[in-house]
Structure 1
Amino acid sequence: MSENEKKILILGVGNILYTDEGFGVRVAEELDQKYQFSPNVEILDGGTLGLRLMGPIMDADYLIIIDIVLNEGAPGDMFRLLGNDLQKACAFKNSMHQTDLLDTLAQCSLMGKVPDDVILYGIEPVNYKDMSAALTPELEARIPEVMETVLKEVEKAGGTYTLRTETNPATEKVYVPRDTSRNSGN
């Protein structure tokens, strides 16, 4: 990575055990498995780590967060949020992690190191309260579109990517599997 390249962090956050709450993590997993990124791009499953994300966030120049948001939209609506809009959307109390994310960004700011650009791609959830490793069918269907949007943001920030093939396979990682049987109509 050259000194002029921005360090880009793609951060999927959420709790994969509560239906759509895990959407951001699932998008990050898909991106990691399907694409190989330039050395200046890192993908991180932020789960519900809160303040433990300070290091990676402070190391980044360009932060792309993927999460669910309650933004008064219809279920499945996607929002690109910055600044005050990001704070408003992340400030709801029905989440186990989003207020932590704002606290983490605030702590990074106090330490004097917040990425120059912080963008949240949030999607309005259908269900984030029921315990299930499955996304709702509506949000499962939105994963490809959100991935494409994030890939465009990576390009805009100066990162590159290529589709993984047999010659550049994904490294083997163990993820909590999505329960897709719920989405098949069975």
Structure 2
Amino acid sequence: MPEKDKRILILGVGNILFTDEGFGVRVAEELEQKYVFSDNVTVLDGGTLGLKLMGPIMESDYLIIVDIVLNEGEPGEIFRLLGEDLNKACAFKNSLHQTDLLDTLAQCSIIGNVPDDVVLFGIEPVNYKDMSAALSPELEARLPQMEALVLEEVEAAGGSHTLRTDKNPATEKIYVPRDTSRNS
């Protein structure tokens, strides 16, 4: 399949009510607010939907997941994980959604339709247990770097993007804004 025909899904997952647990969703929100993507790219706030994400996942050819991972790294360290490394990173039970994500990918596989390419951009959290709509300052500072990595992956997969302007503002509403006042 030509690169430009690949259906690319950027899937930000997590729970925005538990500090860094919402990092993946916040990345998806930022991308949606700042960029217009080519028709073959979809940005999705997957929240903690688990098995309800099967449809969008099975309809994609290239899946880019953004989430927190416990990968024995330093807080704020970013990882690009594939294959078995992705499975190990998603297997921890300290998250409200991680096991669901593995189960969802497994169910898609059983049905016989998993994207050819699955990439997880994970970041080591600082705090994913306290209830807050704010990211930790360390992860807040990493948002631009993660956005850039995801955009590079989209381009490598055959997608494109342009910056939004006043003439093409985002139509997606953010219902629970980040509390960045806690990070100053």
Equivalent residue, structure 2, for 1:82: 82
Q: Distance in 2 between matches of 1:118 and 1:106?
A: 13
Q: Distance in 2 between matches of 1:82 and 1:172?
A: 30
Q: Distance in 2 between matches of 1:155 and 1:17?
A: 31
For the Cα contact (< 8 Å) 2:4–2:40, is it kept in 1? no
Q: Distance in 2 between matches of 1:166 and 1:4?
A: 27
Equivalent residue, structure 2, for 1:26: 26
Q: Distance in 2 between matches of 1:174 and 1:131?
A: 18
Equivalent residue, structure 2, for 1:58: 58
Matched, 1:155 2:155: yes
Amino acid in structure 2 at the alignment position of 1:42: T
Equivalent residue, structure 1, for 2:141: 141
Equivalent residue, structure 2, for 1:49: 49
Amino acid in structure 2 at the alignment position of 1:31: L
Amino acid in structure 2 at the alignment position of 1:116: D
Q: Distance in 2 between matches of 1:162 and 1:4?
A: 16
For the Cα contact (< 8 Å) 2:32–2:172, is it kept in 1? no
Amino acid in structure 2 at the alignment position of 1:70: L
Q: Which runs of 5+ in 2 are unaligned?
A: none
In the alignment of these two chains, the number of paired residues is 183
For the Cα contact (< 8 Å) 2:62–2:116, is it kept in 1? yes
Q: Distance in 2 between matches of 1:138 and 1:117?
A: 29
Q: CA 1:12 to 1:172, structure 2 compared with 1: closer, same or farther past 3 Å?
A: closer
Query: Match of 1:106, SS?
Result: helix
Could you tell me how far 1:175 is from its partner in structure 2? 2.5
Q: Which runs of 5+ in 1 are unaligned?
A: none
Q: CA 1:130 to 1:161, structure 2 compared with 1: closer, same or farther past 3 Å?
A: same
Question: After the TM superposition, which parts of structure 1 deviate over 4 Å for at least 4 consecutive aligned residues?
Answer: none
Query: Match of 2:134, SS?
Result: coil
| Worse-superposed segment, 142-151 or 170-179 | 170-179
Q: CA 1:37 to 1:4, structure 2 compared with 1: closer, same or farther past 3 Å?
A: closer
User: 1:72-93: CA deviations, max 9, x gaps?
Assistant: 0000000000010001011001
